[in-house]
Structure 1
Amino acid sequence: MPERKPAISGKSAPPAKKSTDKEVDIFLDKLARLPKTTSAKGRLIFALDATASRQMTWDQACHIQAMMFKEAGRVGDLEIQLIFYRGFGECKASTWVSDTDHLTRLMTSVHCLAGSTQIEKVLKRAVKETTKKKVNALVFVGDAMEEDIDTLGHLAGQLGLHGLPCFMFHEGGDPIVQTAFKQFARLSGGAYCPFNDGAAQQLKDLLAAVAVFAVGGRKALVDYSQKNKNKTMTAKLLAQIPE
């Protein structure tokens, strides 16, 4: 039998690095190149690592998802499916929900548990969902990757063929995990962006931009920018989308 390639682990990460302006610009440029959404309805998979190291960020995500609903709801309907993994082989997906109260109740009932990553299950679920009904974007938030990179890369490529971009938000500074997440984003036609505690507001702005773009395209982002003049991330995004 051929020798199996070692899995990549990101649990022993070095000190996190803050996102640079160049990295944010690259992320927004990739988002700007996505096909424009023509209807005022979007479907977004919100996937999170819920292993033990992620409790603080999970709590932040409860508030972030509310912002995604709020901003996207100004221009149309947003449906979100929550997917998370934790513990020993536990990976769960919610039904599609269209209100922040429902999703908040789901998220606040979850507590992070020690375990290994299960990104393969997340990507397989995304393929299944978009095959049944078009999904506009997959957001993944995590800090580690302990699975076979080629297997995950193949699944990311399948999502790219289905027109489902993955937005890989990487917490922490592990360079090996960074390389893997960048590859998954590229293969799916999405984008990669690092963040840490010091970039919490930046993460909120970027996630809100993804949600608004998924629902209403460029026009929605123009309106969003006008109502949120301090949203520098959105302004950078608009500057890169053709009229």
Structure 2
Amino acid sequence: MPGRVPRASEKSAGLKPDGATPQGEVASVSNAGDVAAFLRNAAVLKPAADSQLPIGRLIFGLDATMSRQPTWDEACQIQAEMFREADKISGLQIKLVYFRGFGECKASRWFANGKELASAMSRIACQGGRTQIRKVLAAALNDARDKKVSAVVYVGDCMEENVDDLCARAGELGLLGVPVFLFQEGDDPVAAQAFREIARLTRGAYCRFDTGSARQLADLLKAVAVFASGGRAALMALEKTGGAGARLLIEQMK
């Protein structure tokens, strides 16, 4: 919103004012054994040989509107776990882009430290408002035009925008080689149709989750982090070690 002064908490979290841009069915909760196994597998993964950049860049888009409030705390825990595990993967930077309220959309700086990113996300509280997925895709486009973006993750439960407008931006991301991985909370059919089409246009993937599917969502998010860091070769390596999330993404990305 024009003229808005960022709060101190936003400054400390590395968040930019509204509209700012850079330069411009699944199962139960992950246990300690699952996380330990993932860490062992991730530790031996190397960036793909054909990667042109030593650092993978992942944009994490988040719907923080009021409809997500009932499961917000659980979702934050899962996402924070992804950030912590991403910390163990060499060469990965993550940017957080979230929306909520009346036209409010913010983008963080690039984080190389998963703990700092999880801390920034923990400061976000849900507020009533309509979806602003277009702004998330636009922010990804701005970054991708400046420097390679490995992937975009989006987590949300509904879609209240012009789907053709979203698909136009998704098509541009697809041309730039940026896959979008969309994770839908709940089963809203309008959102499902739009998310599937965005995934198709970008050669990404779409998956649905609910309150009983925390483990699969965690596995999927970790698999995306591996892909962003090491490309398809690293994702296939994770799948060979038994990574269920990697297997689901590979099946869709075909």
Give TM-score scaled by structure 1 length: 0.76
Over 3 Å counting, the alpha-carbon distance change for 1:140 and 1:241 in structure 2 is closer
Distance in 2, matches of 1:218 and 1:180, equals: 25
| Greater relative contact order (Cα < 8 A, sep 6+) | 1
Give the match's secondary structure for 2:212: helix
C-alpha deviation, 1:187, in angstroms: 1.0
Q: Which residue of the partner structure matches residue 233 of structure 1?
A: 245
| Runs of 4+ off more than 4 Å | 221-226, 235-242
Paired residue for 1:86, among 93, 100, 124? 100
Q: Which residue of the partner structure matches residue 199 of structure 1?
A: 213
Q: Structure 1 vs Structure 2: percent identity of aligned residues?
A: 50
> In 2, are the aligned partners of 1:36 and 1:217 still within 8 Å (CA)?
no
Distance in 2, matches of 1:116 and 1:91, equals: 11
Q: Which residue of the partner structure matches residue 118 of structure 2?
A: 104
Mean Cα deviation higher: 168-177 or 145-154: 168-177
User: In the TM superposition, what are the counterparts of 1:101-140 in structure 2 within 5 Å?
Assistant: 101-140=115-154
One-letter code aligned to 1:192: Y
Structure 1 residue runs of 5 or longer lacking an equivalent are: 1-17, 21-34
Q: Which residue of the partner structure matches residue 10 of structure 1?
A: none
> In 2, are the aligned partners of 1:123 and 1:155 still within 8 Å (CA)?
yes
1:183 equivalent to 2:197? Answer yes
Over 3 Å counting, the alpha-carbon distance change for 1:88 and 1:68 in structure 2 is same
Give the match's secondary structure for 1:198: coil
> In 2, are the aligned partners of 1:69 and 1:78 still within 8 Å (CA)?
no
Over 3 Å counting, the alpha-carbon distance change for 1:184 and 1:225 in structure 2 is closer
1:142 equivalent to 2:186? Answer no
Over 3 Å counting, the alpha-carbon distance change for 1:176 and 1:105 in structure 2 is same
Q: Which residue of the partner structure matches residue 45 of structure 2?
A: none
C-alpha deviation, 1:232, in angstroms: 3.2
Structure 2 residue runs of 5 or longer lacking an equivalent are: 1-24, 28-47
Distance in 2, matches of 1:159 and 1:219, equals: 21
One-letter code aligned to 2:104: E
Mean Cα deviation higher: 107-116 or 213-222: 213-222
Give the match's secondary structure for 1:212: helix
C-alpha deviation, 1:165, in angstroms: 0.7
Q: Which residue of the partner structure matches residue 167 of structure 2?
A: 153
Give the match's secondary structure for 1:135: coil
Distance in 2, matches of 1:113 and 1:234, equals: 33
